[in-house]
Structure formats: structure tokens, C-alpha cells
Structure 1
Amino acid sequence: MNPKSKVPTLRRDDGTVLTEYPAIAVWLASTFPEAKLLPKDADKLAKALEYTDFAVATLHMQGFSRIFRPSNYAPTESDHEAVKAKGEEIFAKGLGIFDKALEGKEYLLGDSPSPTARCSTSPSGGRAGWASRCRRTSPRIMPG
């Protein structure tokens, strides 16, 4: 379905395909404004997009890809554990950044959940799925 051979992919009612998480999140928020998926305030919108990009580009693409697909980074199997360890380091640092951003708040943007929360917790069982698969916890994002 995705010409780039990856997820996520959204096939719209008119048959066209939209790819890449940030593009899909913005399209959904614009198409269904009553759902309040993204803030209208320019500063909060910019922050939501910043967190979303960080979750996708850093936690998922740099952290998780090393943890779950070490052969993409090191063809020699003896190097896979070091690659996974680097992925876990990136993931843990990312959780720390989100924890700091959440200090004193229930949600990253203060008053409501955003696609960033879904982006950083949704795959394979949500928070509990990532926590158990990555053996990492975060008091605010992935309670142990």
C-alpha cells in the first residue's frame, strides 16, 4: 500500500495514500478539528510537532530500529548486542527528555493529549508493550 514500503500509511476515502506520521497526524487534525488532535495556538502547535518529530525520528528510528533490527546497523552478529545497547541508550535518553518535559503536567502540552502521546506509546501494545520489549520504564511515560 505504501510506495515507500513502510508504515504508517493512510489510505483516504478518495483512494489516495498519505505516508509519514507527522503528515498523517496533521491531515487527521485538520480534517477532524472537532477531535482537537492538535492545538490551534501557534506555540503549542510548534511544540506538538517538535515532540512528534523527536518521537518518530529519535525514539523510533534511532532507538527502536537498533534494538529490534540490529542487523541493519551491523552485518556481523557478534556486533548486534552493542548495536542494541546503543538503541537502548538512545531510547532511555529520549524517555528522560519526555519525563523532563512532563514535569508538573499531565500531558506534554499541558491540557490535553496530542498525537505525540500516541506516537510515542502506540506500537505493539502501547506503553506496556514498549516497556516490556525494551526493558525500560519512565515514571511519566511508561510506568514500571
Structure 2
Amino acid sequence: MRLWSLHPSLLDRAALIAGWRETLLAQKVLAGSTKGYTRHPQLTRFRAHPEPLDAIGAYLVGLREEATARGYRFDATRILHPGDPAALHATAPIPVTTGQLEFELAHLRRKCAGRSPEWLERLPADGEVPAAHPLLTAVPGEVEAWEVR
């Protein structure tokens, strides 16, 4: 499961679609409607949020907005807590370290090198801190403690 901290606009097609599916699974975990993945480390930041289902809903809204902009149709009815139309910006932000963003950008680069090398030119240059998902707020720091390396 990879719940990208990167802004959805940075994700290639495969990462965006997989991110949607995996976040729907994460939503099920947070809602208590599945027994698998309950201890997945990427859920740590959502569980720490005062309203975990609102946070995962806002995260899904961000992915859906990017998908819609690209002409994909992600089913909004699958978002349990989409909030109002401004939910993405009304939900309390989750901090993410710049080290985590850089780590994920490097991971995305490796993935894209094999499956969509043309996407690499769209990604930020080495040394540039990439944009975070709109639900997340970048803060200085190393790779997050919950990240599995």
C-alpha cells in the first residue's frame, strides 16, 4: 500500500490509479470494515488525525480532483466522508516532512523509469522539494518514522 504524500499531479497514470485503489482500502481499514492491513504503517498519520475518516476522505477528494482533470472517472460515491465541496481545504492538514517528500519522489522516479519514462521529465529536478498532496503541509525534517525502507 502506498499512500503518496506527493501532490497527485506528480503521479504518473499507474501511481494515480493504484493510489486511488489503495486509499479506498485504507478507508475501509479506518472504517473498521476489513481485517487486513490494520497495522499498515502508512495509516499512522491518518489515525493520528482528529477525524481519520474525514482526513482519508479529503485525501481521496484530492486524488479524484487530479483524476478528473486528466479525464479519468473515479467514483466519488466510494468516498465515505467526502465533506462539502471544500472538504479538501476544510480538513485539518496533516504535516509531512520534506525528507519524506524527497524520499517518495526518488521512489516515484524509480517506478517511472521502468513503466513510464516519458513522465520523468514532468517531475521536479533533483534537490527540489516536491509539492505535497493538498491535505498535507510540508515541514522540515527527515524521512517519516513510519516509512518502511
TM-score (normalised: structure 2) = 0.28
Q: Which has the higher contact order (CA 8 A, sep 6+)?
A: 2
The structure number with the bigger radius of gyration is 1
TM-score (normalised: structure 1) = 0.29
